[in-house]
Amino acid sequence: MGRNIHCTYISEKINKIRWRPNPFNDPKQFVTGSWDNDENHIRLWEVKGFEEDTDINPFEINVLPFDGDVTELKCVNPDYLIATSNEGKVYLIKIATNITEEICLSHEIVWDDAHQGMPCTSFAVYDKDIATVGEDGRINLLSIMNKAPTRVIDDADSCTVNCVEFLKFNELITGNSRGQMKIWDLRADEEKASQIFMLSGDSIVAATCLAQHPTQRHLTAAGDEHGSITLWDLRQNTYPLNVMTSHTESVTEVQFHPDRPEHIFSCGQAGDVFHWSGIKQGACEESAWYTSTTNKYDIFMLMPQLHTTINSIDLNRDRLLCGSDNEAMYMIEGVNIYS
Amino acid sequence: MEDENLKTFLIPNDLCKSAGIAGTWMSGNKIGVFPYHNINHSSKDAPSQYTKNVPSSVFHVKHEVVLFHPILRRLVTESMGIFLNLQTVVENKPSDYKQHLQQFSVQYRSVIRASLENLRDEVLRATGEERETLQNFITIFYSVECIWHLCEILYIENIPGHVVIKHLLEWVRFHFPKYERKAAFLLSGESIGSLESRQDYWETVIGCLLQGRVEVVRALLSCHSAANSTHFKLADQILKSMPTYGVYEGVSVQEFNLRWKHWLVDTQSKIDSKLFISEKNLHLMMRLIVGEEMAWSEVQSQCEAWYELLAAWLFYTEPTVKSFELGAFAKRCISRMGTRMHHLDRVLLAAMEGDVQIIKEIQHMTENGWFVTHLMDLLYHCEQLEKWQTDKEDSLKLRHSFVFEYGNTLAGHKSLWQLGLNYLDHCFPDGLAAIELLLPRVPINDESKAHRVIQEAQKRGLSHIAHSVAKIEGLKSLRNDRMGNALVWALRSQDSNFASFLADKFLKKYVDTGILPNVDLLSYLGSCMMASDRLIFLGKYYQFNKLHKDKSYREAAKALVSLIASKFTPKFFWSTLLSEALTLLECDELLLSSNDVFNLLNAVEERLDCLCELDELEPLIRLGIARNLSRALTYEAQYT
């Protein structure tokens, strides 16, 4: 493997991996959540040796046992993270430094019955608001300030909702196992989606993941189980802007680069990680995703293909974290986003 | 099997004790043991004496797999990557295929070494029983690495002319790094005072000499305070001029032997003229390098293992020894050292003798087949296995059986099941059959895992398994009263009966409650409704229902007529459908043509038997039909 790929084996399959944000946007810590193990854990890691060009070795700072599989994990801010389980629970976890200067993870709020005991599949965060979705088709609106849910939309979907994102503070988009994308206006009283459109025509293709352009929030990317990433301009959602098909199996996660959204990153069940670079010479930045011609972007494979699913990626600056089913986490340094 | 090798486990249960036990395989490496009393034709036909009020238990007996220990999981997962890469290379058969195999061997070893390192770190932290376990692992994997390295030299690495001595020395140095470390320390200049005053000086010099580090020996000697004396200088010169054999040095074996013999005679003559007698250790060294038996007897106690002595001895006495001649020399060394043969020693000897016995010995190592699987796979691809077996067919079978066993062990684990499948993929044809049995037994507790299992099945062309998993998921959804989700699973399972069954459920719910459930799904059925007739009906009915609700009565009427004409209507739904037709028939506006009405009438006549239970509906329908018909006929007569 290349010089800039660092691999660490942790003896459990990683379902989610996320940088822990810090005020300087230069995080050295990240969290992992495992799945499909006898006992699952959320682990907090720290990386040392960024500055020197030596071997980078993450070491574990703290570990929190977790009931069931971690289905989604996101940091709300540097001190709080949220995790959901396939037992239908939602946890608000605090990262705190105790008297002896040790950093510890602890449960702050547990929403036990968020999904009636059925698996919670994903959630989205907007400031202090959280929207969770699950196999029971319910959408919960929670706030990290409050244990009581803000709003519950029962039977929001007939199928399993696999992914969710906030479009605005009052608007949600969800994708389900039938391949329907739904937009929800949270101010409306009725428990019905304000818009429904299909991800991929008539056939049954489950949406697996969603990503939001960090600044132009009407620009949405959705991954599906056949390996396509579809880009939509939600101002005119009758027809997708772009369909990017390089993954051979299900797309597990897709992400716009937080600072450089002209780059999209995605990983898949076939063990591949792609970098889609939307800038080409002469092309105006940002606009790259709005043109539907395929030759407007470059595709890079960031790592030799693994033999196991890559479940999760997370980016910060030019550092990419990957978590895989081969019980290894990879850190790729120097991802080419600046040139 | 010898009796002493059998292990006995007690099942602590009274009922088991009195009745007897039986066991049955569960998934993976588990056996279910339960009280069992054998009944045969001669048994009395009476209630069993054991069915008292004692509760009977089932015990799960599990074979412990050390590979599943968290610290060894790394070995398992990382080596799988190497294994799969190797299989890809072997399939493509590039020209430098042998070199690739050697690289893979090195990669495997580096994984073992990394695990050993982890174990060593961990053992310092551990206490009590855990510590013992880890120590045990270290012993096992140390041996594994040692044997693998030797096998790599003997069977995998492509050594020209099979002159292995250099590699053997390297191997020994790798496993007995004590002297090299000491020498490095001495040479670093950190020790105070003259070197030879240190107790371990001469021990280190001789140790390095035994490991063939002539350069280091010379460096150490030059640090001796008497280094400038004649006998030291002479010794240094002898060491310097010692010929070593290297394939790429452009010297043939015969030529080398000639030079070496000459050097030997020269050195011997210097020893005989007692040039080194004043310094006893130097004298010993010189006698060693010319292979004097007495001298070797003096130093052999400095060797920890017979193979350390073997490499040293061969270096100075048989420098051009071929890999296949090692066995005989090894035996001589063993008898010389009087070693009590442990398992590791036996395996190493077998490896040197090129004995097929090695497979058996390796198999008996207690690490659940990781070692034997990967090494045998590699040896098979190096075409070494067939040299041991009588033909290629057998060696292939042998390799398959190991990979198969290992794959099965992994597949039985909750978390490593996918890895197991990857191994089973590479033992055709039993592997696929095993996968077919194993996949449906993977415990599934959420849909994302179900999707994984389905994808694994589809990758291997086992669509029937994918379908059955989908169907089970559908039934689960149904049990949770999630009909919409169940329908999606039914469509995935491509089971039209199941889809029809669900469509009926939707319709029945409508009959019962007047509300059609899961409209968000039904409105986007699209071509999926082709899965079954009943589903088409449901889809079409939904369209009619929607038009009716939206008050587009004309389109609704058209949809209704086509629904009725389609003859897909289930029996229980006729009355609902006809009562809805009634509202359209009685509409102020004329919606149905005479032709449509005839069709409707026809349908009613045909299905009188379904309607008989609804006596009050039939006359109403007939009346509606008659009135509509009259209006339609009048209208049509006027305007067409």
Nearest to B485 among A159, A182, A198 (CB): A159
Position A295 scores a pLDDT of 59
The torsion angle over the Cα atoms of residues B394, B396, B401 and B403, rounded to 10 degrees, is 160
Nearest to B446 among A38, A86, A196 (CB): A86
Q: Which residues of A touch B488 (CB under 8 A)?
A: 159-160, 177-178, 204
- Residue B70 and residue A11: Cβ atoms within 8 Å? yes
Flag whether pLDDT at A250 surpasses 90: yes
Residues 6 or more apart whose Cβ sits within 8 Å of residue B454 = B466, B469, B470, B492
Q: What percent of chain B has pLDDT over 70?
A: 96
Instruction: Return the residue in B416, B425, B446 with the most chain A beta carbons within 10 A, the one to mutate for interface testing.
Output: B446
Flag whether pLDDT at B558 surpasses 70: yes
Position B609 scores a pLDDT of 66
Rounded average pLDDT over B110-117: 93
> B332 or B248, which is more confident?
B332
> B621 or B402, which is more confident?
B402
- Residue A119 and residue B491: Cβ atoms within 8 Å? no
Residue B607: band (very low, low, confident or very high) from pLDDT cuts 50, 70, 90: confident
Q: What percent of chain B has pLDDT over 90?
A: 23
The token pair at B379 is 């040896």
| pLDDT digit string, tens, across residues B515-556 | 888 888 888 888 888 888 899 999 999 999 999 889 888 889
Rounded average pLDDT over B624-628: 88
SS3 label, residue B192: coil
Q: What is the DSSP string of B481-498?
A: T-HHHHHHHHHHHT-HHH
Report the candidate in A219, A223, A217, A220 with the shortest Cα–Cα distance to residue A200.
A223
A156 vs chain B: nearest CA distance in angstroms? 9
Its ipTM equals 0.92
Report the chain A residue with the minimal C-alpha distance to residue B443: A36
> Domains, chain A, ranges and CATH?
157-270+272-305 (2.130.10.10)
Residue A206: band (very low, low, confident or very high) from pLDDT cuts 50, 70, 90: very high
CA distance B371 to B340: 24
Task: Compute chain A's Rg from CA coordinates.
Answer: 19
Position B601 scores a pLDDT of 85
Q: Which residues of A touch B446 (CB under 8 A)?
A: 69, 71, 86, 119, 135
What are the domain boundaries of chain B?
A: 3-63, 160-339, 538-639
Residue B292: band (very low, low, confident or very high) from pLDDT cuts 50, 70, 90: confident
CA distance B41 to B121: 62
Q: Which residues of B touch A196 (CB under 8 A)?
A: 520, 523-524
| pLDDT digit string, tens, across residues B345-356 | 888 988 888 888
Flag whether pLDDT at A84 surpasses 90: yes
Q: What is the DSSP string of A268-333?
A: ETTS-EEEEE---TTSPSSGGGG---GGGSEEEE-SPPPSS-EEEEEEETTEEEEEETTSEEEEE-
> B428 or A225, which is more confident?
A225
Residue B1: band (very low, low, confident or very high) from pLDDT cuts 50, 70, 90: very low
- Residue B520 and residue A193: Cβ atoms within 8 Å? yes
Flag whether pLDDT at A139 surpasses 50: yes
- Residue A196 and residue B418: Cβ atoms within 8 Å? no
A302 vs chain B: nearest CA distance in angstroms? 17
Is-cis flag, bond preceding B160, omega within 30?
Answer: no
| pLDDT digit string, tens, across residues B6-39 | 778 888 888 888 888 888 887 777 888 988 888 8
B175 vs chain A: nearest CA distance in angstroms? 25
Report yes or no: A33 at the B interface, CB cutoff 8 Å.
no
CA distance B40 to A26: 75
- Residue A69 and residue B422: Cβ atoms within 8 Å? no
Position B614 scores a pLDDT of 59
At which residue do the structure tokens 């996968």 appear? B435
CA distance A252 to A159: 19
SS3 label, residue B277: coil
Instruction: Return the residue in A13, A63, A178, A225 with the most chain B beta carbons within 10 A, the one to mutate for interface testing.
Output: A178
- Residue B415 and residue A182: Cβ atoms within 8 Å? no
Alpha carbon distances (Å) from B200 to A270, B2, B178, B214, B304: 57, 48, 12, 18, 16
Report yes or no: A325 at the B interface, CB cutoff 8 Å.
yes
Alpha carbon distances (Å) from B84 to A307, B89, B236, B378, B385: 8, 9, 51, 12, 20
| pLDDT digit string, tens, across residues B388-399 | 766 778 888 889
Flag whether pLDDT at B484 surpasses 70: yes
Of A126-135, A172-181, B173-182, minimum mean pLDDT range: B173-182
Rounded average pLDDT over A5-16: 92
Position B507 scores a pLDDT of 92
SS3 label, residue B640: coil
Flag whether pLDDT at B51 surpasses 80: no
| pLDDT digit string, tens, across residues B191-205 | 666 777 777 888 888
Position A1 scores a pLDDT of 42
- Residues A109, A122 contacting (CB under 8 angstroms): no
Q: Which residues of B touch A306 (CB under 8 A)?
A: 81
Position A123 scores a pLDDT of 95
Report the chain B residue with the minimal C-alpha distance to residue A208: B448
Rounded average pLDDT over B280-292: 87
At which residue do the structure tokens 């089973």 appear? B424
Position A55 scores a pLDDT of 67
Residue A3: band (very low, low, confident or very high) from pLDDT cuts 50, 70, 90: low
Instruction: Return the residue in A69, A196, A307 with the most chain B beta carbons within 10 A, the one to mutate for interface testing.
Output: A307
| Mean pLDDT taken over chain B | 86
> A291 or A122, which is more confident?
A122
B538, β-bridge pairs: none
Residue B469: band (very low, low, confident or very high) from pLDDT cuts 50, 70, 90: very high
Give the other-Cβ count within 10 Å of B307's Cβ. 27
In our burial notation (b when 16+ CB lie closer than 10 A, e otherwise), range B608-626 reads: eebbeeeeebbeebeebbe
- Residue B451 and residue A206: Cβ atoms within 8 Å? yes
Flag whether pLDDT at B103 surpasses 60: yes
Q: How far is CA B476 from the centre of its chain?
A: 30
CA distance A165 to B256: 76
Q: What is the DSSP letter of A158?
A: S
- Residue A136 and residue B482: Cβ atoms within 8 Å? yes
Report yes or no: A250 at the B interface, CB cutoff 8 Å.
yes
Nearest to A158 among B78, B419, B518 (CB): B518
> B611 or B112, which is more confident?
B112
Flag whether pLDDT at A247 surpasses 90: yes
- Residue A307 and residue B81: Cβ atoms within 8 Å? yes
